[in-house]
Structure 1
Amino acid sequence: MPGADEKLAALGIVLPPPLKLPPGMVLPFPWVNVRGDRAYISGHGPQEPDGSLAGPFGAVGESVSLDEARASARKVGLSMLGSLKREFGSLDRITGWCRVHGMVNSALRFTETPAVMNGFSDLILEVFGPEIGRHARTAIGVAALPLNFPVEIEAEVVIESS
């Protein structure tokens, strides 16, 4: 069975470079925080292939459609995989996805947050397969997100020691 790195190549997926932050923005935390055999992945937003912020921006169910938000969640997954690849050198060091916490910038009474998060989960399962990619998940609606992102996602994975 091919590993995650091989699967990405087979799918023709190129991961984005580090996020290009807006001028003056400083993030006093790492994107990936390794503790023993766990890696805690800070909240990521969607990125374009060049590392810039990816739109559309705003609340899902208002200025962002469900399909656009699902595509943004997939872009968040690509952003996160880029951070993990830079941290570990290979995504094949990931032996299991534990949990995923998704926050959706939601219009009042928008209740399809799980459908939005499927864009992320589908990517992880496609790249890692059902055994390694399987994860517990939360999908909540929030009133606003940093940089007016429609989706922000954080996660926890198990890694093999280096």
Structure 2
Amino acid sequence: MAETETPEARLARLGLVLPPAPAPVGRYVAYRRAGDLLFLSGQGPRRPDGGYHEGQVGTAVSVAEAYEHARLVGLQLLAVMRSALGSLDRVAAIVKLLGMVNAAAGFRDHPAVINGCSELLEAVFGEEGRHARSAVGMGSLPNNITVEIEAIVAIRP
């Protein structure tokens, strides 16, 4: 990966196509800018038909399936970033992710699931895509989604 390659160019080289930025499903906004930071609301893994990937990881859903769901959420987060900023090239760095996994009791592989999103962001942004992160288990998530991920992004003017 060339040092001068932009995030938009990496996205194209990787053959990734972003979905439309998802609309909020409640009384909140998809993002909020505060100074040089962009705060992205949590996203769940949407299927192409508009529904969600559902189920509890560690029982009905495997780690490999949930990893792919987290990667889908990463694509959605990228779509929201692009919608907010006009271009992913305005992203200076991914600062922090909070990844929540709809996990069975005793499940221990939360980081392996959220890696689906983390690895995607690093592929698109290079070193600037490496971020601080929390990967935690939840007893349930809205609409029984498998994962929910939110992000904090540093932006360029």
TM-score range, shorter chain: over 0.9
Match of 2:33 in 1: 34
Q: 1:42 to 1:20 in 2, by over 3 A?
A: closer
Q: How does 1:84-99 map to 2 (within 5 A)?
A: 84-99=81-96
For structure 2, which runs of at least 5 residues remain unmatched after alignment? none
The answer as to whether partners of 2:44 and 2:149 remain within 8 angstroms in 1 is yes
The answer as to whether partners of 1:72 and 1:150 remain within 8 angstroms in 2 is yes
Q: What is the aligned counterpart of 1:113 among 110, 114, 118?
A: 110
CA RMSD of aligned residues (A): 1.4
Amino acid at match of 1:103: M
Q: What is the aligned counterpart of 1:63 among 56, 60, 63?
A: 60
Match of 1:2 in 2: 5
The answer as to whether partners of 1:18 and 1:51 remain within 8 angstroms in 2 is no
Query: Which stretch shows the higher mean deviation, 9-18 or 97-106?
Result: 9-18
Matched, 1:146 2:149: no
The answer as to whether partners of 1:58 and 1:64 remain within 8 angstroms in 2 is yes
Amino acid at match of 1:52: G
Give the number of aligned pairs.
154
The answer as to whether partners of 2:22 and 2:80 remain within 8 angstroms in 1 is no
Match of 1:133 in 2: 129
Separation in structure 2 between the aligned mates of residue 46 and residue 104 of structure 1, nearest angstrom: 11
Matched, 1:82 2:79: yes
Match of 1:16 in 2: 19
Identity of paired residues, percent?
43
Deviation at 1:18, TM superposition (A): 3.1
Q: Which runs of 4+ in 1 moved over 3 A?
A: none
The answer as to whether partners of 2:96 and 2:132 remain within 8 angstroms in 1 is yes
Deviation per residue, 1:79-101 (Å, 9 max, x gap): 11011111111011110111110
Match of 2:51 in 1: 53
Match of 1:155 in 2: 151
Deviation at 1:51, TM superposition (A): 6.8
